[in-house]
């Protein structure tokens, strides 16, 4: 049985690679073609973009007397210093810990599938589902910046503008989402030894 990747219909696959979905006429594949290659491409690109996302300023606050560029980590530290520890923890988890966990988790799954080592498939599948679930929470920083930019516009007194770090961070979020979407979790179950 194969599930169509376009319309979701479940259909029998004869195994010769030429069967079309009876509903939308898309070619059916037992596994997503080039799943591992695409997932690696998105993951490695996200890993490269992760560096400027954390090195370059994510936003700049301009006041009358000074200009303050701020990276993600500097923002977390400033929030903690200003007695906003719960918000600092949320921003740290959503902006630093979650992307790192997603990148490490996807790379672990890709290494496992490529090496062909049997692992606990249920745990690996749960890990994949968790990675897929937490992906959208990484956008929290970008939502905060967009809200701040629209709220804090006092003309010449103060302004907030997004910087290149915000664009790089958005790139990391999108690339990790695409990496998780490209990975075919059925490859995890293919590693299991057949029972006699």
pLDDT for 158? 62
Give yes or no: residues 104 and 142 share one domain: yes
Give yes or no: residues 89 and 25 share one domain: no
Least confident stretch, 75-79, 170-174, 176-180: 75-79
| pLDDT > 70 in the chain, percent | 80
C-beta contacts of 148-155 below 8 A and 24+ residues apart: 148/59, 149/59, 152/61
Alpha-carbon distance of 5 to 100, in angstroms, equals 28
Alpha-carbon distance of 127 to 93, in angstroms, equals 17
**Whether the predicted pLDDT of 60 surpasses 90:** no
Domain membership flag for residue 114: yes
Domain membership flag for residue 169: yes
Give yes or no: residues 110 and 155 share one domain: yes
Give yes or no: residues 18 and 82 share one domain: no
Q: What is the arithmetic mean of pLDDT over 103-127?
A: 86
Specify the number of domains making up the chain: 2
Q: Report the CATH number that the domain containing residue 87 is assigned in CATH.
A: 1.20.140
Domain membership flag for residue 195: no
61 forms bridges with which residues in the sheet? 68, 160
| pLDDT > 90 in the chain, percent | 16
Question: Average model confidence (pLDDT) for the chain?
Answer: 79
**Whether the predicted pLDDT of 41 surpasses 80:** yes
- Cβ atoms within 10 Å, residue 45: 16
Alpha-carbon distance of 45 to 104, in angstroms, equals 13
Domain membership flag for residue 84: yes
**Whether the predicted pLDDT of 131 surpasses 70:** yes
Give yes or no: residues 56 and 108 share one domain: yes
**Whether the predicted pLDDT of 40 surpasses 80:** yes
Give yes or no: residues 87 and 15 share one domain: no
Give yes or no: residues 16 and 93 share one domain: no
Range of the domain at 54: 34-190
Q: What is the pLDDT of residues 81-97, one digit of tens each?
A: 888 888 888 888 888 88
Residue pair 70/88 in contact (Cβ under 8 Å)? The answer is no
Residue 30 is classified by DSSP as S
Give yes or no: residues 24 and 57 share one domain: no
Name which of 121, 138, 137, 129 is nearest 181 in CA terms: 129
Provide the pLDDT confidence category of residue 196 given band limits of 50, 70 and 90.
Answer: very low
**Whether the predicted pLDDT of 195 surpasses 50:** no
Domain membership flag for residue 140: yes
**Whether the predicted pLDDT of 149 surpasses 60:** no
Domain membership flag for residue 9: yes
Provide the pLDDT confidence category of residue 138 given band limits of 50, 70 and 90.
Answer: low
Give yes or no: residues 54 and 99 share one domain: yes
């Amino acid at each position: 049985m194969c599930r169509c990747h376009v319309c979701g219909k479940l259909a029998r696959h004869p195994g010769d690679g030429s069967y079309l979905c009876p509903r939308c006429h898309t070619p059916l594949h037992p596994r997503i073609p080039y799943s591992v290659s695409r997932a690696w491409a998105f993951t490695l690109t996200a890993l490269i973009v992760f560096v400027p996302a954390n090195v370059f300023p994510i936003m700049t606050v301009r006041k009358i007397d000074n200009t303050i560029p701020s990276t993600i980590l500097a923002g977390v530290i400033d929030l903690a210093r200003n007695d906003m520890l719960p918000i600092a923890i949320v921003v740290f988890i959503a902006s630093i810990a979650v992307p790192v966990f997603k990148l490490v988790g996807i790379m672990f799954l890709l290494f496992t599938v490529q090496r062909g080592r049997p692992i606990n498939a249920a745990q690996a599948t749960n890990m994949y589902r968790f990675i897929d679930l937490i992906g959208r929470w990484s956008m929290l920083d970008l939502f905060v910046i967009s809200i701040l930019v629209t709220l804090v516009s006092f003309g010449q007194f103060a302004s907030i503008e997004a910087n290149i770090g915000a664009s790089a961070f958005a790139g990391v979020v999108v690339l990790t989402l695409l990496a998780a979407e490209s990975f075919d979790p059925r490859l995890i179950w293919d590693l299991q030894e057949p029972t006699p």
